[in-house]
Amino acid sequence: MARRSKQTESPETIERQWSPRVSAALLERLAARAAVSAVKKTIAIEAPFTGEVLGHVPHGAPADVVAACAQAREAQQEWARHSFAARAAVMLRFHDLVIDNAAEILDIIQLESGKARRHAFEEVLDVAIQARYYAHTAAAFLKPRRRQGALPLLTKAWEYHHPRGVIGVITPWNYPLTLAVSDALAALMAGNGVVVKPDALTPFSALWAAGLLEEAGLPQGLLRVVTGRGAELGEPLADGADYLMFTGSTATGRKVAGMGAERLKNSSMELGGKNALLVLPDASLRRAVPGAVCGITSGGGQLCISIERVYVHAAVYDVFAARLAESLRAVRLGASLTFLEDMGSLIGADQLSKIEGHVADAVGKGAEVLAGGKARPDLGPYFFEPTLLAGVTDEMDLCRAETFGPVAAIYRCDSVQEMVERANDSSYGLNASIWTRDTRFGRELAARLQTGTVNINDAYAATWASAGPMGGFKESGLGRRHGRQGIIKFTEAQTVAVERLLAIDTPPFLSHQQYATLMSAAVKLLKHVPLIK
């Protein structure tokens, strides 16, 4: 498959294609949804495909975050009294609206992030899936549950879950719809209000989602979106929110965790990754090669769970490396708002510079470029070829630092044990991928990897889209999103116990010594009594 040239879609052609759905007027209406009271400054949003200004959003101030938190808190008081069925009805209407308006949001995601349409579509699916999932499961996850009392017959206990209040959601630019909305949906279903601070590079997707949620019936003010710079708005959001949900770099995550810790507020965060893909000697290369291509190029490689390290058993290394390089060279790059391209643009100049630096450093120190390796200014200002390098060693930046682009290093390994050890030899532990025909052995091997998610015969989507918890070990994060843990974290757990008949203390007709003897005998007998789980 040949790459698409710059003649495939000129900026003028793209603009004509956009105009029916994403006009300047639409972007202005979205910008007006930002919870910013007095617009003194604006932020210019760049379209990565062309480098031109797409539109402007208000530059929020700390006072706007304070006001947004107050509005969300006021609306939350009534929302918390809504039944789970009433909240679920909003989520399911939102689910349908997202699907029905997919063409519009796909355009918006592409315009502000530069990603290919196929990768933007992953965001649409993810948001719809999360809305449906929590609409159907929140009541079961959060209903009051009987818990084991201190002593049978004498005590009963129940566990309750209450909304925390206002959840602050700080999102990055790489998945502007998914990361602005999916966690917010769980927080809303748990009865909270939400204040979203989207990345200053990609605010329109979050604003679009906020409007669609209100169209679906979400009370006005319950979810607020404040646009602006994180350096200015992070502290007031930490002050005003009761819990912080952050997705982004490990370096910034440390700062966010620190802000929460100073205020004795909990936080959850998905951070960086240097994710490994392991190709075992029995792997189906027919499946493993395109799987690796997907893991390396999805979202332009600007995905926390994308693949940056490829460990291949020596028995299949030569064949696999050659096929992977060939497939990466065949990846179709382009900027159209169609499903024709395999990969789009990087987000901007800073990301391009970082990726070029990692590749140049590796090549300068002896690494071999098997595929790609250079920017493609003929396609747009921030395009970079899918790249595969061999001979990457520890002294190269590419070896251990997160590149966050369509670049991977490939390594020959003499044994499965070596593959596991090298995959675990990282300060990160977010995602991993194993390719083998023996899925039972694959699961056993997965348990030896120090990562929050492990996909067998898939790069990342199988675990992300599952109902299991998603998050990272080591420096890749705190807490989990998705599944039961993804909504429980947005609640405060409360235990209520009832004491009946006798007090759990020495009764007046026994001495303390007699009571201790009696209770010791009773506790021995209780080990045979089934517990309430």
Catalytic residues: 270, 304
Measured CA to CA, the distance from residue 487 to residue 138 in angstroms comes to 7
Phi and psi (nearest 5°) for 82?
A: -70, 145
Q: With beta carbons less than 8 A apart as the criterion, state whether 372 and 395 touch.
A: no
Measured CA to CA, the distance from residue 277 to residue 431 in angstroms comes to 9
**H or E stretch covering 514:** helix 512-526
**Alpha helix (H) residue ranges in 283-433:** 285-297, 317-329, 349-364, 397-400, 416-424
* Dihedral (CA of 476, 224, 238, 57) sign: positive
Q: With beta carbons less than 8 A apart as the criterion, state whether 435 and 280 touch.
A: yes
Query: For residue 444, what are its two tokens?
Result: 């056993």
- Please name which of 232, 236, 231, 184 lies closest in space to residue 205, comparing C-alpha atoms: 184
Q: List residues bridging with 434 in a β-sheet.
A: 278, 456
Measured CA to CA, the distance from residue 48 to residue 487 in angstroms comes to 34
Phi and psi (nearest 5°) for 331?
A: -60, 130
Rg of the chain's alpha carbons, rounded to an integer? Answer: 26
- Please name which of 130, 155, 236, 76 lies closest in space to residue 496, comparing C-alpha atoms: 155
Query: For residue 262, what are its two tokens?
Result: 């100073």
